[in-house]
Amino acid sequence: MTSFWSLWVIILTSLTIILVTWVLFGNRSRENPEAKTTGHVYDGIEEYDNPMPAWWFMMFVITIVFGIGYLIVYPGMGNYEGVLGWTQVKQHDKQVAAADERYRDMRDRYLALPIEEIASDPAVRKMGMRMFSNNCALCHGADAKGAYGFPNLTDDDWLYGGSPDAIKASIVHGRQAAMPPWGGILGDKGVADVSAYVMSLSGREVDPAQAEEGSKHYQTYCLACHAADGTGNPALGAPNLANGIWLYGGSMEQISHSVRAGRNGVMPAQKKLLSEDKIHILTAYVYGLSN
C-alpha cells in the first residue's frame, strides 16, 4: 500500500471513530431536562425523549474502546503493523509449520518406502488425494481424467513415462512441451497430407494417396520426435500418435491445427511448493491412479 492510501485509511478510520464517539456522547443527555418528549406526535401518540439505558450506552463505549485497542495491537490502520506484528501470512506459516511437525514422522516413514509399495496404502491415497485436489485438480480435473490440453492421469498413456521416477520428475521439475509449427514450411496441402497420415497411424480410414504424400513429410519433419511408427518418445515428451489417444483432439481439424500452429504445454514445477515427503506421497497417489 502506498503512503498516500495508508494515510487515507488512517485519517478516515480515525475520523469515523471520533464521529461515532461524538454522536454517542452528544446524545447522552438532553439540553432541557424538563422536556419529556421530542415534540413529535404520530396519530396522537407523543414520542418520549428518554435517554439510552446505561447498560446499552456502556456496551457502545466498550465496543469503541475495544476497536481502538484492536487497531493498536493488530494491523488495520494503513501500513501500521500493530504492536504484535501479527499478519495473516505469519499465522498461516505458523499453522502450516505446526501441522508439518505433527505429521512429519508419518510422512518420513512413507518417504523411506518405495512408491510402488505405498501406492495402495489407504492413508497414503487419502493424503495424496488432498494434495492432488489442492495442487493438480485445477488442470487435470478432480477425477484426474484431464481435459483438452491436459493429460489423463488414470490411463496407461504417458507423455514422459509412467514409472514412479518419471512421474516424480514431472512433479518436481515440471515439463515444457514444444511442438513446433509446420504450417509455414508445409503449406496448407502439406498440413492436410501429414494430418491424413497421422490419422492413418491409429488405423483410421483416410485417402490412401493423401496419406502417402503425408508420409513423405512425416519422415522428413516428424520422425525424429514421434518415431517411424508414430509411437512417440517419452524422453522428449512426444506423444504416441498410433494409439488413438489425443491430448488436443483427434479430428482432422484438430490434428491439422496442431501440425499447422504447433502446441506448447507447461506443467509447473512443484519443488518450491511441496516438500520432498509430500511429493513422494503425491507421486504414489498419481502412480496408483493407473496401476
CB within 8 A of 206, min separation 6: which ones?
196, 197, 199, 200
Average pLDDT over residues 7-33: 86
Q: Tell whether 179 is in a known binding site.
A: yes
Between the CA of residue 268 and those of 47, 91, 128, what are the distances in Å?
A: 69, 27, 18
| High-pLDDT (> 70) share of the chain, % | 98
CATH topology of domain 89-177+268-289: Cytochrome Bc1 Complex; Chain D, domain 2 (1.10.760)
Q: Tell whether 131 is in a known binding site.
A: no
Above 80 in pLDDT, residue 30? no
Average pLDDT over residues 40-50: 81
Q: Which residue has the cell 503512503?
A: 3
Q: Tell whether 92 is in a known binding site.
A: no
Q: Tell whether 225 is in a known binding site.
A: yes
What CA–CA distance (Å, rounded) separates 125 from 91? 28
Above 90 in pLDDT, residue 53? no
pLDDT in tens, 59-117: 999 999 999 999 999 999 999 999 998 999 999 999 988 988 888 888 889 999 999 99
What's residue 151's pLDDT? 96
Above 80 in pLDDT, residue 255? yes
For CA atoms 199, 205, 207, 212, the dihedral sign is positive
Under DSSP, is residue 267 helix (H, G, I), strand (E, B) or coil?
Answer: strand
pLDDT in tens, 269-285: 999 999 999 999 999 99
pLDDT in tens, 112-144: 999 999 999 999 999 999 999 999 999 999 999
Between the CA of residue 113 and those of 57, 116, 121, 271, 280, what are the distances in Å?
A: 65, 9, 11, 20, 9
What's residue 15's pLDDT? 96
Above 90 in pLDDT, residue 38? no
Q: What φ, ψ does residue 11 adopt, rounded to 5°?
A: -65, -45
What CA–CA distance (Å, rounded) separates 130 from 137? 10
What CA–CA distance (Å, rounded) separates 112 from 108? 6
Q: What φ, ψ does residue 143 adopt, rounded to 5°?
A: -95, 5
CATH topology of domain 183-264: Cytochrome Bc1 Complex; Chain D, domain 2 (1.10.760)
Q: Tell whether 139 is in a known binding site.
A: yes
What's residue 222's pLDDT? 96
- Kindly list the domain boundaries of the chain, sorted by start residue: 3-73, 89-177+268-289, 183-264
CB within 8 A of 162, min separation 6: which ones?
156, 287, 290
What CA–CA distance (Å, rounded) separates 270 from 139? 14
Alpha helical stretches, state H, the chain: 3-26, 54-73, 88-111, 115-118, 122-135, 137-140, 164-173, 183-201, 208-217, 223-226, 252-261, 276-289
Q: Tell whether 136 is in a known binding site.
A: yes
What CA–CA distance (Å, rounded) separates 97 from 101? 6
Fold: same for 89-177+268-289 and 183-264: yes
Q: What φ, ψ does residue 144 adopt, rounded to 5°?
A: 65, 15
